[in-house]
Structure formats: C-alpha cells, structure tokens
Chain A
C-alpha cells in the first residue's frame, strides 16, 4: 500500500473513491431513502456521524481489540453510534425519523462504514482516521443529496419541499418510487463511466515494442 498524505485521506473519499458513485458501497440506503432531498440529507448526516464516531473509537481502541473478534467489536461500536443517531433523530425530527424507518437501524450493516474501520481506522492514528471518515462520510452525503435532488426535482417538482417549476408541473411519479432510485443511480453511473472513458482516452497508452499496451498509471 502506498503511503498517503493527510490531505489525500480527506479528499479521496469525496471524489476519487466516492463510496456510492465509485466503490458502489452503501447502495441500500442510497436507493431506498433518496426520494427527497430532506430524507437524503438526514440519512447522509446520520451516516456521517456514525462513521466519524466509530472511526475515532476504533482508532483509539485498536490496540485493545483482539484480531480474532475485531469485526464483532467494530459492529458493536458502530451499533452504539447508530443507536445514538436513531434516538436523536426520533427526538429532534420525528417525521423524518418515521420516513426513514428501518433504514436508520440498517446503518449498522452499511458495508461502507465497516469497510473504513477494517481498511483504515484500525491501522492509523486518530487524526488520520478522522480525516478519512470525514472524507468518506462527505462523499456519501454528497452522493445521496445528488440522487435526492434529481429524484425530488423530477418526481415532485420541488427542492427541499419548495416547488420549483410552478403549479402546472406534471410530476414524474416513477422517480419517487423505487424504480426511480435505480434509474437515477444508473444514469449517474453511466455519466461517470462515460466521463472516465473519455479521460482515459486522453491519456495515451504506452506501446511496448512487442505490441503489448499497458495502461499508464493515472497521475494521482
């Protein structure tokens, strides 16, 4: 593994290794609760909080967690923060809590969070773990809000509940139904793939004498 700078730890999760749009992790909440910007924001912030909290704790406790039971220890730590998020959401914004339903409890099994503990927080000091968690959490939040915006704009004609297109807008009801989640994610991924392909074409492959082409490592 290449050594990374703290800045890379923070920025990487937002764009280059965006959990939803690039790594395709945590798709369950990304598809299920992004039918409005409000729900997406709430889900993104709750996940951000859980990821940050558990990364700090895992990084602090890494010396005392036996290797054999580390996954269950991570899950316990994550579950603690999910319970906090669940209770806080229920107390502060009960309506959103109701709209998100079981998906708040399901943050526990969001593989993006467990993945960051296993791959990063359990190996690095607290400061770096915080940066990594903040970057990844922000990437998740951004992806969810993008999806929520597309779906709410088309499916309801509004943004954060404020009508955008006037009273005569004909909502595309399918976009706030489950298929809309798949369509939106699919088209975003399609756009990403197209963009990456175009970028890759601009980088010229190095041609070896015997005709084997190798991909030039993308400049980081």
Chain B
C-alpha cells in the first residue's frame, strides 16, 4: 500500500512549544521565590503548611481525577496557592482539609481542569475561613528562630489548636481597620509584616508575575487593571477623607499582590477577551476597595475574585470582538 502523498489533518498546523504542563510547571517555578520569602519570614511552619496543603490538593486529584492529570501540575499550583493564603500557625490538619476541599469541591465537582467556575485555591480558603474563622484569623508574628513553630501546627486532627503559648499579632490591614495604625511602606514591600504566608513579600510576587507575563502565561491586563483601579479609587477616597489609607498602603498590604497576580489570572476562571480582562480587573479592584474600606472584614481580595469569577461568562459574552467584515457600516449582502 502506498502512503498518501498529502497528509490531511485538521488545524492547527503550526504549534508552539507551550502546553498545559509546561505553563503550569512554569507557574509553580515562579512561585518558588514566594515560598522562599514566606519561609524566610515565618520559619519552618511556612514550609510545613504549604507542603501539607499541596499534598492535600495533589492527593485529592490523584484519588478523584481521571488519572494522569497529576503531571500537568495544576493540582500542585492549587495546593501551593492555597498554602500561601493561610496563616503560618494554622493546624496542619486544616491545611490538608483545605487542599482536599479546594480540589474536590472547587474543581472535581465541576469536571476537572478547565471546567471549574471558581478559582479552586480560593474555594479551599473560603471554606476554611467560614468553617474555622478563629484558626484562619490568628496571625502569629515571625518566630525568633527558624526552627521555632509559629503556632500549634501539630494540633490533633479535628481538635482545636492550643494557642496559649503563642503570641498573636495583627495584620497591617487589621491594624488599619480596627486601630487606625498604618505600616511603613518599605516593610509592606519587603514583607516584614504579619499576615498570610504569601501575602507579605510583594517584591517576590511581582518578580514571579513579571516573568509569567513576559512568557505570556498570564494576561498582564488583569493585574494592571486591578492595581490601577485600587490605586485610583483608594487615592481618591484618601484625598476626600484622609482617615482612609492611601494607594501605596492599599496596594502592598494584604493579599492583593498574590490575588491579583496569581489567582485572578487563573486561565480557567478569567475572561478570554482583552476588553473583558480590563473589565474583570476593574470589578475586582472596585470590590476590594469597597470591602476593605466599608465591609465588615479587613481583607476582601478573596471574595472580590470569587465574585468576579462568577461574572466571567457574562463578561465573555458581552465583550466578544466584532468579527471582521461584519457589523458596523457593512451592508448586508
């Protein structure tokens, strides 16, 4: 039998080197500086919490997934990001449960990678925050020695952590909201403040985000739009009434950096059109400022992103580009 001269295949005919695993593992790689920064500030507890959250996510993907999906690295990202949103002193069993919920309830229930409506890591975090409000809002200050635990990490499963021997602090946002105390901008930028593991070192997150944006693995419009909205809105409010914090504080405190760079830009749950990306960022930025300044909680990045995730299908539909040769000014044939 002769082989056919022309092989007829469906498009695409030109393929780039990028694949799902390649992109996902690049994201994991770009998170390494953030993890290093977290463990620098919070000691061994940071590594423990991040590792256990990742194990929970990857293990759930292994059990519930269709098989072979561990290699694409998406579960590892979910686990890493979830770990980075948790405080250092959280009991490890809560971190594990968060990882399980993130993948099980945030992703597998919808049908796996690419099907989920909401960012899985934030689903895990939102579940934990609603289930264990106390454990999730206990912020230990950085321990003195690296091997010193930041909290009762080894509390027995399903049992309350023993917080007696540990000092707890406040996050810059909490201090601002409930006590009206600001934090020096340089401390915020370098990360020497209380808070979740990954929400402190803005510089490490921006470096990782810049790398991903250059590789086009994330849509730069989304973080830029979020930052611009937050800066403009909060600076305007600050001018009108100076008791509210200014743009610099709002940008570099709390989970805004991690959320805007790594969570809002999740390819599955963010808009596909450029115009949609601007709109989506605008929505997240506005919600963050609204919740932080006038909401009951000191931090609102998580809920802002989850709410806008829900809007993504509508944003996509509303911002479809005009197909070339149709619409405006073109007479129907």
A interface residues (Cβ-Cβ under 8 A, vs B): 165, 168-170, 172-175, 177, 179, 183, 186, 190
Contact = CB atoms under 8 A, between A and B. Distances in A.
B130 interface: yes
Interface stretch (B131-139, B217-225, B261-269): B131-139
A170 B160 contact: yes
B214 interface: no
Interface in B145-169: 155-156, 158-161
A175 B159 contact: no
A170 B130 contact: no
**Closest 4 pairs (CB-CB, A-B):** A174-B130, A174-B131, A172-B131, A170-B160
B303 interface: no
B127 interface: yes
Interface residues of B, number: 15
B218 to A, nearest CB: 30
A170 B133 contact: no
Contacts of B132: 170, 172-173
A168 B160 contact: yes
Contact of B159 (A168, A172, A174): A168
Contacts of B109: 186, 190
A175 B131 CA distance: 7
A180 B105 CA distance: 13
A173 B159 contact: no
B134 to A, nearest CB: 8
Nearest to B135: A170
B110 to A, nearest CB: 12
A169 B158 contact: yes
A190 to B, nearest CB: 8
Nearest to A172: B131
A190 B105 CA distance: 12
A217 to B, nearest CB: 30
Given A170-B91, A170-B132, 4 more contacts: A170-B158, A174-B130, A183-B105, A186-B109
Contacts of A172: 131-132
B158 A165 contact: yes
B130 A169 contact: no
A186 B109 CA distance: 10
A172 B91 CA distance: 14
Contacts of B130: 173-174, 177, 179
A170 B127 contact: no
Q: Which of A169, A170, A175, A179 has the most C-beta atoms of chain B within 10 angstroms of its own C-beta? A: A170
A170 B92 CA distance: 13
A179 B161 CA distance: 24
A173 B105 CA distance: 17
B160 A169 contact: yes
Contacts of B127: 174
A173 B160 contact: no
Nearest to A165: B158
Contacts of A186: 109
A169 B159 contact: yes
B275 to A, nearest CB: 33
Contacts of B135: 170
Q: Which of A165, A172, A175 has the most C-beta atoms of chain B within 10 angstroms of its own C-beta? A: A172
A67 B332 CA distance: 56
8 contacts: A168-B156, A168-B160, A169-B159, A169-B160, A170-B158, A170-B159, A173-B132, A175-B131
A168 to B, nearest CB: 4
Nearest to A175: B131
Contacts of A179: 130
Contacts of B155: 170
Contacts of A174: 127, 130-131
A4 to B, nearest CB: 36
A179 B158 CA distance: 20
Contact of A173 (B131, B158, B161): B131
Contacts of B158: 165, 169-170
Contacts of B161: 170
